[in-house]
Structures are given as structure tokens and as C-alpha cells.
Amino acid sequence: MTAAKNSKSISASEGRIIQSRKDRWVTIFSYAFLGLFALICLYPLLLTVSVSFTSERLIASDGFRLIPKSFTLDTYVYIFSHSGSRILRSYGVTVFVTVVGTLGSMLVTCMIGYAISLKELRYRNVIAFVCNFTSIFSAGLVPWYVICVNWYGLSDNILALLLPAMFSVWNMFLMRTYFSAISPSLYDAAKIDGAGHMTTFFRIALPLSVTALLTVGLMYILSYWNNWWNALMFINDRDLYPLQYYLYSIVSNVNAISSGKIPAGAAASIKLPSETVKMAVTIITIGPIIFLYPFIQRYFVRGIMTGAVKE
């Protein structure tokens, strides 16, 4: 009798589930805990936004405040007035690299994942082993740099921002898991109808793996958008600087001037907002990704759980 009272009951008149008091308290606690955790995660972002709109003088006197005494656009005016055209060009480079790199990476990753998901492919386990081996063992930074520059000619070239990050073994295995879950009877039916592997890949495998495509696509988008390392290693032409690396150079220059590491004559009359510049650069960088992520978050969570739960 007690167990029946504590369990969920269904109202015959309304046809809905009525929770017991214990279940309601559990639900309230869960929402409160998740809400508090969300606020804790959101706090650094809000603090970053607040500091970016605060003057350097108030930062020096009051420290970081979630709600500053006064708001100012001086830091953003400084960044865009001194480097506005460069930032816009860097935005264009980053957008181009992100779009082209993501499409190319998805094509390569999905094709390899689809190929090794087919049981009739000879040596597919060997191919998978070779791919996995490269993700565990690496020759090191120097051989990688020598091969990219001397063999592939990736120096002051837009391809230097694309090719080194074109393939991810982890993403490939994620796509292979999705492709392996597709019923082989669909492939057999397509083969009977005269479809080749390319037709089967584009018209059957990909449409049935939308969740995985969005998940892996988001990973590649974040990777290309936040990548500044390849620019540091291979790019000397300022016209090819991606957004991340160009803003990194701005912060480095501001810190160098503020710390007195450049000749005194050149910086004697300069008072730069070193702390607020860091925060403003962060907001400029992550802005587009913040607006993109909520639209595909549910697909990302669903895709990342692939293979984690066995039925």
C-alpha cells in the first residue's frame, strides 16, 4: 500500500502522470542543482563581458566586478580603430578556413569511416589499426614541421591552415560507429538496384547519419575556428592571419608595451588597456560560436553518446 502511494499514479479522468511528493522533491532538487551549476558555468562568461566594457582605471582600483560602476567602449574603440580593417580581414580568413576546412574534413572523415565500416572491404582492420596508431604515437613537432614545410610547401599558404587539421582519427571512428549501425540490408537493396558505393554513400549512409554529421561537424568547426597554432608555425604574411592568431598578436603587443619590454621612447606616452583588451579579444573571438552552438547542441549530445549505451 505504501509502495503504491509513493509510486507515480495515472489519473483516469485527465490521462496524465501524477507524481508523488517524494518525486516532486527530487525533481525540484534536480532543477535547482542544474540551475546552480549552469550559473556557475555562466559566471566566467558574464564576468568577461563585464570587464571588457570596463575602463582600465576602474579595473586597477576596484578589480574585476560582475556589475561595474560604469560602462565604456574604450577598449573596443581602441581595438577596431587601430586594427579594424585587419580584424575584418582576419575574420574573412577564419570564416573561409572554417567553412572550407570543415567541408573537406567531413568529406575525408566520412569516406574513410564508411569504407572501414563495410565488412567486405579487405584489410579494413589494418587500415583502422594504422589510423589508431597515429593517434597514439607521434614522431614529434620537428619532423611534423619539416614534412609540412619542406615536402608539402605549407609556408605562407592558405593550405597551411587547412591540411594539417583535415583529418581526425577520433571523429573517423565516431562516423564508422554510425555507419556500422545502418542495416546491411539497405546496402544490399541498393546494390541490387545497381547503385555503386558512391551512390550508396551519398544517398543512404549520409542521410541516415545526420546526428553524427552534425556532431562531427561541430567538432571540426570549433577546431578550425579556434586554431591559431598552425598560423604561428607556418604563416608570416599578415594578410593570411586568422582571427585567433591576429588577436593573439594584439594581446602580446599590448602586454609588451605595458610591461616596458619595448624602448621607452616608443611607449612613453602610451597607456594601453592591457587587462580589458584580453577580455574584449575573448568576446570578439567566441561570439559567433556562442550563437551557433545552441542550435546543434542536442545533436552534439546525442552524437557524443554513440556507443556509450548498449541495448
Structure confidence at residue 237 (pLDDT): 87
Instruction: Provide the Cα torsion 89, 91, 96, 98; round to 10°.
Output: 150
178-216 confidence digits (pLDDT tens)? 898 888 888 888 888 888 889 999 999 998 888 888 888
Check residues 305 and 310 and name the one with the higher pLDDT: 305
- The position carrying cell 614545410 is 149
Average pLDDT of the chain is 80
Structure confidence at residue 98 (pLDDT): 92
Q: Is 9 left (phi over 0), alpha (psi -120 to 50) or beta?
A: beta
Residue 191 backbone dihedrals phi, psi, to 5 degrees: -65, -40
For domain 82-304, give the fold.
MetI-like fold (1.10.3720)
CA-to-CA separations, 90 to 125, 218, 252, 276, in angstroms, rounded: 42, 21, 17, 21
DSSP string, 254-279: HHHHHTT-S-HHHHTT----HHHHHH
- The position carrying cell 608570416 is 236
Give CATH 1.10.3720.10 domain extents, the chain: 82-304
